[in-house]
Amino acid sequence: MLRSCAAPLRSLGALRGPRGGACPPLCEPRPALRSFSSEKVIYKDFSIPNPSWSKDLRLLFDQFMKKCEDGSWKCLPLYKHGSLQRIQDFKTFFHDPKFTKEDVMTQTRLFTSSFEEGLGFEHAMFYNDVEKRTVCLFQGGLYLEGMPGFLHGGAIATMIDSTLGMSALIAGGIVMTANLNINFKRPIPLCSVVVINSQVDKVEGRKIFVSGNVQSADEKTLHSEATGLFIQLDPDKSLT
Ligand SMILES: CCCCCCCC(=O)SCCNC(=O)CCNC(=O)[C@H](O)C(C)(C)COP(=O)(O)OP(=O)(O)OC[C@H]1O[C@@H](n2cnc3c(N)ncnc32)[C@H](O)[C@@H]1OP(=O)(O)O
């Protein structure tokens, strides 16, 4: 049975962007019906089980959903498109206005949501506000192959960046990755399930230091360790 991860994210509502503005919509309460639409873009929350999810991924997802029941953990929504609100928040830093137009937005996809079901980055993220931890449950599909039978390092780096980035985003609003260090310790078999853990270690002005690791679902194998530096964007500085 599919379980809704529709726990509201209102407790994250206090998180602010660099100008004190509201945090991008990844942190907003998720819509009750798990999807909403602007004029043309349909926003549907994809962080719910689909038929491509393995038993391990469903089991872990259910365990985290259980942890959400007392409010200590929140399931974060996952969309295919950058939302209008996020684009609005990011607009100050944009130079090319065409990417803020809705008809162009329908053609763009968030990288980690750009594959057909089961072939790419199947994942769900959870956040613990007290521990400032983000956990990503990740099953890398057949189109993410690097060495035969194993995930490509770039695919692993992508999900590490996204998970550590989510911790930084929740802590600091609009951020970009300035530095990402990864030690790849054990390869990740294709279609296996791993858990990516991340936490904010330190915030120094606009710099947010985050660390994390990637473990197998049974926690017996440490696949990777990572540290990242994320910078809150300065609205008075050009990005280009
Ligand atoms: C789902 C949500 C998660 C999304 C995760 C995905 C995020 C991404 O992948 S973003 C894409 C990849 N990243 C990029 O393209 C960013 C490219 N880099 C840049 O645009 C800029 O360097 C940027 C915005 C990060 C920082 O620029 P700017 O705002 O001018 O900061 P700047 O003044 O240079 O540096 C601020 C501080 O950070 C430090 N710093 C900046 N970069 C680094 C670095 N690589 N290493 C160490 N320190 C650094 C500076 O020394 C400075 O320190 P201090 O304040 O102590 O003097």
Q: Mapped to the 3 state alphabet, what secondary structure does the chain carry? A: CCCCCCCCCHHHCCCECCCCCECCHHHCCCCCCCEEECCCCEEECCCCCCCCCCHHHHHHHHHHHHHHCCCCEEEECCCCCCCHHHHHHHHHHCCCHHHHCHHHHCCCCCHHHCCCCCCCEEEEEEEECCCCEEEEEEEECHHHECCCCEECHHHHHHHHHHHHHHHHHHHHCCEEEEEEEEEECCCCECCCEEEEEEEEEEEECCEEEEEEEEEECCCCCEEEEEEEEEEECCCCCCCC
pLDDT at 95: 65
Q: Is residue 236 lining ligand 1, measured as CB closer than 6 Å?
A: no
Closest approach atom of ligand 1 to CA 234 = 29
The catalytically annotated residue of 89, 96, 129, 161 is 161
Query: What distance in Å separates the CA atoms of residue 59 and residue 56, rounded to the nearest whole number?
Result: 5
pLDDT at 77: 84
Q: Is residue 147 lining ligand 1, measured as CB closer than 6 Å?
A: no
In the chain the first and final C-alpha atoms are separated, in Å, by: 47
Q: Is residue 239 lining ligand 1, measured as CB closer than 6 Å?
A: yes
Q: Is residue 238 lining ligand 1, measured as CB closer than 6 Å?
A: no
Distance 239 CA to ligand 1 centre (A): 10
Q: Is residue 161 lining ligand 1, measured as CB closer than 6 Å?
A: yes
> Is the complex ipTM higher than 0.90?
yes
Q: Is residue 166 lining ligand 1, measured as CB closer than 6 Å?
A: yes
Backbone dihedral angles phi then psi of residue 50, each to the nearest 5 degrees: -130, 170
Distance 167 CA to ligand 1 centre (A): 15
Residue nearest to atom 17 of ligand 1 (CA): 178
Backbone dihedral angles phi then psi of residue 66, each to the nearest 5 degrees: -65, -40
Backbone dihedral angles phi then psi of residue 8, each to the nearest 5 degrees: -65, 150
Strand-pairing partners, residue 13, are none
236 is catalytic: no
pLDDT at 44: 64
Closest approach atom of ligand 1 to CA 165 = 3
pLDDT at 237: 83
Q: Whose CA is closest to 84, among 26, 8, 11?
A: 26
For the chain (240 residues), the mean pLDDT of every run of 10, in chain order, is 34 33 33 44 70 96 96 87 65 69 73 91 96 96 97 98 96 95 98 98 97 97 98 86
Distance 82 CA to ligand 1 centre (A): 21
Distance 150 CA to ligand 1 centre (A): 31
Rounded to two decimals, what is the model's pTM? Answer: 0.85
CATH code: domain 16-232 is 3.10.129.10
